[in-house]
Chains A and B, each alone.
Chain A
Amino acid sequence: MTLTLDIDKPSEKKPAIVQTIFLAAGLALLVLAPLFFYPVFLMKLLCFALFACAFNLLLGYTGLLSFGHAAFFGGAAYFTAHAVKEWGLPPELGILVGVMGAAFLGAIIGFLAIRRQGIYFAMITLALAQMFYFFCLQAEFTKGEDGIQSVPRGHLFGFIDLSQSTNMYYFVLGVFIIGVAIIWRIIHSPFGMILKSIRENETRAVSLGYSVRNYKLAAFVMSAALTGLAGGVKALVFQFATLTDVSWQMSGEVILMTLLGGIGTLIGPLFGAGLVVTLQNYLATSEFPVTIITGLVFMVCVLLFRRGIVGEFYNSRLGRKLGFEHRH
């Protein structure tokens, strides 16, 4: 697997206009979506899309495959749920608690994991995330198998009633846009350039004097914090936090979403998340197990579109014409 796909970057001015149009159309679609779709479904989709984008900051742009991101997603869901329900914090502060908690967990797990590379890195993140899972299973505040139930959504800034699903949807959309904008900024920054160079040739980065571990740890914590943002919001959307979100299957699911959409593309994970969540939603009522279907979709994608859906589009003739330059 080569983690060498390029960022979504316009090569010339004209394609930049095309991309602006795409962006505007996408935003319009998201703003109008609740007129056509069930808001809770859309909110779920946005939460997972943000989760996958945050995960991709690490996999696609730093070249680190974490198999423990459920700890940050589910952990933040617990923290936010607890802060809102037990401490009575308003939703914005509750989410902040989730983000900080996830960042803190990220600092610990990242600090231990970045000492190793490749599959060892993935295994250490998995092991530590499993430890956190069992902590959540046993701890008092997570309520064990039941999870934290009936979490109030509260009032945003004290006056916007989030129990109204339309209000909640636009709040989630706002958080999503801010989250993706932060990721975009990190990727297209001087710091992002160094991350990219580490992904491309770690030894050379060291010999240029970069303390690679510090950069990796910083990227890990940022990814964990943004994952926490998604997890915290999800707890408010569904009004509960349970063990599902900290389980290893969740870590696997986000990898699936990112690979399906396209590693190293900013919006690829969004599409991947959309596909997986939609499949899960529509197949939830069928007799047939969803996991088999998503597994098959994944296999087909790996065989047919190795770069992921968005990655293949960027690399197609049309994509190139539109200026979605894709180096590999």
Chain B
Amino acid sequence: MTAALKEQNGAPRVVLSARGLRRDFGGFTAVNNVNLDVHDARVHALIGPNGAGKTTVFNLLTKFLQPTGGTITLLGEDITRMAPDKVARMGLVRSFQISAVFPHMSVLDNVRVALQRPNGLATQFWKPMSALDGLTAKADHLIRSVGLDKERNAVAADLSYGRKRVLEIATTLALEPKVLLLDEPMAGMGHEDVGMVAEIIREVALKRAVLMVEHNLSVVSTLCHHVTVLQRGEILAEGDYAEVSADPRVRTAYMGTEEV
């Protein structure tokens, strides 16, 4: 792996790649022959109309679904048959389309739960809760970095939809992932949150790879280095935003009515 990295010298390396990815549900092929290369320090957008298979691709890459065919490589290792929690421990961490928080825990506890495993504090059933106090400073730092300081002690279920998404991003970042998969991180967010989350993602992507599903094309155009367009489970086009948006097939399939 390291040899391959050096060959690319300077150019961002591929950290996550899929080859010939396929998934059938009964007779229906949801994802077909998808090839994807996600680069370090880049934001990669996966776009496409509803039902194009974007979330299925996410589920396949994170191993929440088993692919029917194809291979997936993470950091040079074949993860095609790996369990989802193991993949997460290797540094491929995802967020969900429907916000995934622990609803009856405080914001602080949500972040601390995410910090527990990487800090080796998850299995001690004989230690008191105060054993987790050491994680509080780190958790507070993350909470501050996403602007949730005011809601620190609030119960997650009481947060607004947008704030929950922000919290989810904070818990995802707590794992210091090498590859971040964000499923519609801005969906349902207020305007001010969108700008802030975009800024967080931009900063995060300085040191990590980000693959995101996003419908907000103005975000995609300003934030993403690379765009892959998916339609009916297959790749329709890819390239940077300018290339993709100029592609007539993409315009008819997806952006026909959009101002580009």
Inter-chain CA distance A47–B87, complex, in Å, is 44
Nearest chain-B residue to A203 (Cβ)? B100
Binds A, one of B42-50, B103-111, B139-147: B103-111
Q: Is A285's CB within 8 Å of the partner chain B?
A: no
In whole angstroms, how far apart are the Cα atoms of A194 and B125 in the complex?
10
CB contacts (< 8 Å) of A205 on chain B: these are 113
Complex contact A328–B104 (CB within 8 A): yes
Residue of B nearest to A5 (CB): B104
Q: Which of B93, B101, B114 has the most CB of A within 10 A?
A: B114
Interface-side segment among B23-31, B66-74, B115-123, B246-254: B115-123
Known: A188-B129, A194-B122, A210-B117. A200 touches B103 (CB 8 A): yes
B116 contacts A206, CB within 8 Å? no
Within 8 A of B (CB), among A5-32: 6
Contacts of A210 in B (CB 8 A): 85, 117, 122
The reply to whether B113 and A193 contact each other, CB–CB distance below 8 Å, is yes
B residues near A204, Cβ cutoff 8 Å: 96, 100-102
The distance from the CB of A277 to the nearest CB of chain B, in whole angstroms, is: 29
Cα distance, A212 to B113, chains bound together (Å):
13
User: A203-B96, A207-B84, A208-B171 known; A193 and B62 CB under 8 Å?
Assistant: no
User: A73 to nearest B CB, angstroms?
Assistant: 22
Majority secondary structure, B binding face: loop
Point out the residues of chain A lying under 8 angstroms from B88, CB to CB.
Answer: 206-209
Contacts of A189 in B (CB 8 A): 124-129, 131
Q: Which chain A positions have C-beta within 8 A of B100? A: 201, 203-204, 207
CA distance A328 to B84 in the complex (A): 29
In this complex, what residue of B is CB-closest to A195? B125
Please classify how large the interface on chain A is, using the bins under 10, 10 to 19, 20 to 34, 35 or more. 20 to 34
Q: Which residues of A contact B123 (CB under 8 A)?
A: 190-191, 194, 218
Q: Is A130 an interface residue (CB 8 A)?
A: no
From A185, A193, A194, A207, B94 is in contact (CB under 8 Å) with: A207
Q: Is the CB of B104 within 8 A of A209?
A: no
**Does A297 have its Cβ within 8 Å of any Cβ on chain B?**
no
Contact of B122 with A327 in the complex, beta carbons under 8 Å: no
Contacts of B102 in A (CB 8 A): 196-197, 200-201, 204
Closest to B168 in A: A204
Whether the Cβ atoms of B113 and A4 lie closer than 8 Å is: no
Q: Establish whether residues A185 and B126, one from each chain, have CB atoms under 8 Å apart when the complex forms.
A: yes
CB of A222 within 8 Å of the partner chain = yes
How distant is the Cα of A200 from the Cα of B100 in the complex, in angstroms? Answer: 10
Q: Mark B55-69, 1 if CB is under 8 A from A, else 0.
A: 000000010100000
Chain B residues near A200 (CB-CB < 8 A) = 102-105
By a CB distance below 8 angstroms, the chain B residues around A194 are 113, 116-117, 122-123
| Chain B: CB-nearest residue to A222 | B125
Residue on A nearest B156 in the bound complex, by CB = A200
A residues sitting closer than 8 Å to B (CB atoms) are 4, 6, 185-186, 188-194, 196-197, 200-201, 203-212, 218, 222, 327-328
A–B pairs, 14, beta carbons within 8 Å: A188-B128, A189-B131, A191-B122, A191-B123, A191-B124, A194-B122, A197-B113, A206-B88, A207-B64, A207-B85, A210-B122, A211-B85, A211-B86, A222-B125
Additional pairs, 11, CB under 8 Å, beyond known A188-B129, A203-B64, A206-B88: A6-B104, A189-B125, A190-B132, A191-B124, A192-B125, A200-B105, A207-B62, A208-B93, A208-B175, A209-B85, A209-B175
Q: Which 6 A-B pairs have the closest CB atoms?
A: A209-B88, A191-B125, A204-B100, A200-B102, A209-B89, A190-B121
